[in-house]
Amino acid sequence: MAAVMMPGAPVADAVFADLEPRIEKLLGVGHTPGLGTVLVGDDGASERYVGMKMKKAEELGWTSPHIHLPEDATQADVVAAIRRMNDDPRVDAFLVQHPTPPQIDYDAALMEVDPDKDVDGMHPLNLGRLALSMPGPVPCTPAGIEALLAFYEIPVAGRDVCVLGRGATLGRPLALLLSQKRPTANAAVTVVHTGVPDWPKYTKRADIVIAAAGVPGILQPEHLTPGVVVVGGGVRYEGRKLLPDVDESCEEVAGAITPRVGGVGPTTIAMLFRNAVEAAERRAGLTA
């Protein structure tokens, strides 16, 4: 039997519907939210991602200050751009689009971001808050995956979740998030990676498998138990072509699965705006 599809767009629509009155309230107190973006270089996929975020900000009536640095920008240029965003009163929250060119030390640059304006939730202070279950911006793709599972009423609490990949943007924060004590999380989470060569042993026993490796086609039907819930987070781009971690044939084994295109992408953007609204509310004095 074909798997039930779990597209991200309806989840994102629901998140934006929840944000609408909060944005209205901000505008009502004279605070126009501002989402800043810093792009370094000319990577096509990164340009598209930044463009999508700016377009959505404009659709919502926000300001969207943007700094585009050249491919040969130096670390000092990136730090200066970050400081401009930190100091810009129009900016509630901003991001430095990843990946950056090889001469840029992204982690060092991240340390310069004002943690209160960190819309990606990737500053070490915010990742520390996540580890301690303290309030703060949560990395957007993991937060979007939790929201997607909740939206499709997939039980997560008490279930066996296997995350394939321990990267800083996806696998690691997702494991922290889904193991937190909360009705939409509270799972038994296993994280597998290249240090676990027999990782299919773990994906095969899981109720929910989340691919977060960035290795096209790494997840195959023989790695899954029939009826499993599969979420595809990892992708790689070849030019404009998107190559997901989850092989198409997994749809024949899974009970529910995200589509190859339009799965976690829309939920990631929605969570970015949720983090930005929270930052704007703090700066407008509407929350602590």
Ligand X SMILES: NC(=O)c1ccc[n+]([C@@H]2O[C@H](COP(=O)([O-])OP(=O)(O)OC[C@H]3O[C@@H](n4cnc5c(N)ncnc54)[C@H](OP(=O)(O)O)[C@@H]3O)[C@@H](O)[C@H]2O)c1
Binding stretches for ligand X (CB under 6 A): 141, 165-171, 193-195, 199, 212-215, 218, 233-236, 264-265, 268
CB of 96 to ligand X, least distance (A): 14
Our CB check for ligand X shows the closer of 26 and 268 to be 268
Q: How far is the CB of 172 from ligand X (least distance, A)?
A: 7
State which residue has the least CB distance to ligand X: 167
Please name the residue that has the structure tokens 């960035």: 214
Question: What gap in Å lies between CA 168 and CA 191, rounded to an integer?
Answer: 12
Least Å distance between CB 84 and ligand X? 25
Nearest distance in Å: CB 182, ligand X: 22
CB of 169 to ligand X, least distance (A): 4
Q: Is 17 exposed, middle or buried (0-12, 13-18, 19+ CB in 10 A)?
A: exposed
Amino acid identity at 53 = K
Residue number with CB closer to ligand X (181 or 240): 240
Residue nearer to ligand X on the CB measure, 32 or 179: 179
Is 136 or 171 the residue whose CB approaches ligand X more closely?
A: 171
Nearer to ligand X, 86 or 179 (CB): 179
Closest to 206 measured CA to CA, from 180, 191, 224 = 224
